[in-house]
Structure 1
Amino acid sequence: MAQSMITVAPMLVCAFWMAMLALDVKEHGDRAAHRALLLWAAAATLLYMGHCVFFNRDTLLLPLFDTLYVVCNLAVFPLYLRYLVRLTEGRVSRSTNLLVAVPPVAFGVVVGALYLLMTPLETAHFIEAYLYRNSFDSLAGLVWWMAVVHHAGKVLFAVGVVVTLWVGTRKVRRYNRLVDSLYADTDNRRLRGVTTILVLMVATCIVSFTANAIGRHYFAGRLWLLAIPFVMFSMLLFALGYCGYRQQFSFEDVELGTDGPEAAPEAESMGQWLAQVRGVMSDEQLYLLPDLKVDDVARRLGTNRRYVQQAMNEELGMTFSEYVNRLRVDYAERVLQQEPGITVEELGQRAGYATKSTFYRNFARFKGYRPKAAER
């Protein structure tokens, strides 16, 4: 009973997010790449269904679910990477789709064919000798080839884990840098909890890599050992699903706009461009406008947004978001000194912030303390 509850937990977590994402896609369409995340959740559900069959020793169903397990085990990390690509780049190339789909399907076809070709005695011998004892001893013919294919799948899985972690973290960071360069207010545009997502990705990859290296056979019959990875996977999968489900903004929603007019002849250096940006921001206090965009500043200067971004990056080493929020916080600090009785809500609104929490976070980030004098 306890083993059944432990082994079914990750599957139920994945099934829950699969249902939630399916309802969300039905109601809102493919916002924030939720359809790609739904595909990942479906594969993860089938993967842990295969685990349930394996650890509960249902040998009659094992050939079918072991085949599904091989497919989904090789697909689950690439599918999550595909989701990140869809989320951060807006489209998934045909070559990426092929790289995600072909290896799992090919391995699944081979494993399924070998199960069909093996006799019942050979199947039983493979299950007992290799799946539950991880032994190549006494394996021969089709049984030996089946074990080789499973071993190759473990190696390919490890490669998929490393590639997903490396490529996924790079794409998440690049997307957030893009958002920071275009918008002053990024809370609802950045990947929510980017640090959390990256930490979860690392943790999931480490646990998966370790469990794959040890092998499922090692946990069979050891309830307390089995509980450790399954509880960890349940929590990690729930967190990954939660972060993805809450995300409502993606690359497709980014307002890239057009490049606009070329730079004016008199602006010959980035330093001059920065001086112009500082002038218009200071004179007109554009930084106090809610939801300010770099295009707004570029249009005010009659220039190309790339020059505004480049001036900030090269001369100040800041993104547009950081530059504007520093100005807002400086302004809020001055107001706070002049009007110590002002409320936090009013102070944040006057500084250009839509929410109290965003104001608090940015004030603490750039000033190193919270505006306690204004708490009322």
Structure 2
Amino acid sequence: IVFHELLFVVPFVLFAITGDIVFYYAEVLEAAIYGIGYAMWTVFAIPKYHAQLKQRFSYTENINLNWLRVIFVSFLFILVLWIVDCMRADYATEALYMTSSLVVWMFLSYFIYRHKSVLDELSDSTCADTPEAAEVTETEMSEIGKRISYLFDKEQIFLNPNLKVSDIAAAIGTNRTYVSAFFNREADCTFYDYVNKLRIEYACKLLVSSDESIVLIAEKSGFNSSQSFIRVFSKIKHTSPTKYRKQQND
């Protein structure tokens, strides 16, 4: 934090001491490079973060960071306004810059607040190769696997639309790192993929054996919305739920 702040404090102090306009323009240029650099960083960081979410959550609604892309685009817009304001200060530009900043920070604060529960869930390591996970013996992992299989096969816990790794860990009396290790190493897939594959298989049975609507089947199968159900179904079965039902009943 200190390093990042010094990047902007030093040119400002040098400008205040020397009065040399070069340091003023250096401050503006540095801010532009800094903002554009972090905008480019999000292109790689957000997908990586979404991959971590799939290690812990069985759903994506309201937990991904797609909203952050919008925030960064807005910040780039504000950065442009700020640079223009620095080069040719006038009342209209200053008013637009201050108003835009206020609106973006309001939205950012709201989304960060809403995202707090997700950050809490990701607070410990999501990597199955952590020292703690590596210490799990094959016997312990086998026992964890048996208990997880019971939850999914007998209790059909996958029908919970808000199912998380922490829920599984609490149900079998272990920690999230061990459960994540099981899915990564033993099940050879993410928690998200494992759960949603079971949900789709359950939905397939309902599609063939009943005339219930797609919306109702999505709800019964553990999906938060019919849109997410159709999206996941199409990805796994390579067809829509409606077409699948028609093909099976013909």
TM-score range with shorter-chain normalisation? 0.5 to 0.7
Which stretch of the first structure deviates more once superposed, 302-311 or 345-354?
A: 302-311
Task: Report the counterpart of residue 6 of structure 1 in structure 2.
Answer: none
With the length of structure 2 as denominator, give the TM-score of the two structures.
0.65
Residues 318 and 180 (structure 1), Cα distance of their counterparts in 2 relative to 1, 3 Å cut: same
C-alpha displacement of 1:199 = 7.6
Task: Report the counterpart of residue 131 of structure 2 in structure 1.
Answer: none
| Match of residue 244, structure 1, among 108, 133, 139 | 108
Q: Structure 1: 5+ residue runs without aligned partners?
A: 1-95, 115-141, 221-232
| Match of residue 293, structure 1, among 164, 167, 183 | 164
User: Per the alignment, in what secondary structure is the counterpart of residue 352 of structure 1?
Assistant: coil
C-alpha displacement of 1:149 = 1.4
Q: How many residues align?
A: 227
C-alpha displacement of 1:184 = 1.7
Which residue type is aligned with residue 233 of structure 2? F
Task: Report the counterpart of residue 152 of structure 2 in structure 1.
Answer: 281
Residues 251 and 156 (structure 1), Cα distance of their counterparts in 2 relative to 1, 3 Å cut: farther
| Match of residue 104, structure 1, among 1, 4, 8 | 8
| Match of residue 344, structure 1, among 189, 214, 218 | 214
CA distance in 2, matches of 1:329, 1:299: 25
Which residue type is aligned with residue 319 of structure 1? T
User: Per the alignment, in what secondary structure is the counterpart of residue 330 of structure 1?
Assistant: helix
User: Per the alignment, in what secondary structure is the counterpart of residue 39 of structure 2?
Assistant: helix
Which residue type is aligned with residue 217 of structure 2? L
User: 2:176 matched to 1:305?
Assistant: yes
User: Per the alignment, in what secondary structure is the counterpart of residue 267 of structure 1?
Assistant: helix
CA distance in 1, matches of 2:198, 2:101: 39
| Match of residue 50, structure 2, among 166, 169, 176 | 176
Task: Report the counterpart of residue 81 of structure 1 in structure 2.
Answer: none
Residues 357 and 254 (structure 1), Cα distance of their counterparts in 2 relative to 1, 3 Å cut: farther
CA distance in 2, matches of 1:208, 1:103: 16
User: 2:132 matched to 1:266?
Assistant: no
Q: Structure 2: 5+ residue runs without aligned partners?
A: 89-96, 126-134, 246-250
The 5-angstrom pairing of residues 212-223 of structure 1 reads none
**Could you report, residue by residue, the CA deviation over 1:139-184 in whole angstroms, capped at 9, with x for unpaired residues?**
xxx6xx31x2134335423541354235545554454344332222
The answer as to whether partners of 1:331 and 1:351 remain within 8 angstroms in 2 is yes
Residues 208 and 313 (structure 1), Cα distance of their counterparts in 2 relative to 1, 3 Å cut: same
**Could you report, residue by residue, the CA deviation over 1:58-112 in whole angstroms, capped at 9, with x for unpaired residues?**
xxxxxxxxxxxxxxxxxxxxxxxxxxxxxxxxxxxxxx1x334333344334445
User: 2:200 matched to 1:318?
Assistant: no
Residues 324 and 239 (structure 1), Cα distance of their counterparts in 2 relative to 1, 3 Å cut: farther
**Could you report, residue by residue, the CA deviation over 1:192-233 in whole angstroms, capped at 9, with x for unpaired residues?**
xx2x64487479769979x99xx96xx98xxxxxxxxxxxx9
Task: Report the counterpart of residue 128 of structure 2 in structure 1.
Answer: none
Identity, in percent, stands at: 22
CA distance in 2, matches of 1:257, 1:161: 27
CA distance in 2, matches of 1:304, 1:246: 30
Which residue type is aligned with residue 61 of structure 2? D
The 5-angstrom pairing of residues 356-371 of structure 1 reads 356-371=226-241
| Match of residue 64, structure 2, among 190, 197, 202 | 190
CA distance in 2, matches of 1:157, 1:258: 33
RMSD, matched Cα:
4.6
The 5-angstrom pairing of residues 148-159 of structure 1 reads 148-159=22-33
Which residue type is aligned with residue 160 of structure 1? Y
Which residue type is aligned with residue 356 of structure 1? S
CA distance in 2, matches of 1:187, 1:333: 22
Which residue type is aligned with residue 139 of structure 2? E
CA distance in 2, matches of 1:321, 1:360: 15
CA distance in 2, matches of 1:257, 1:112: 42
User: 2:128 matched to 1:254?
Assistant: no
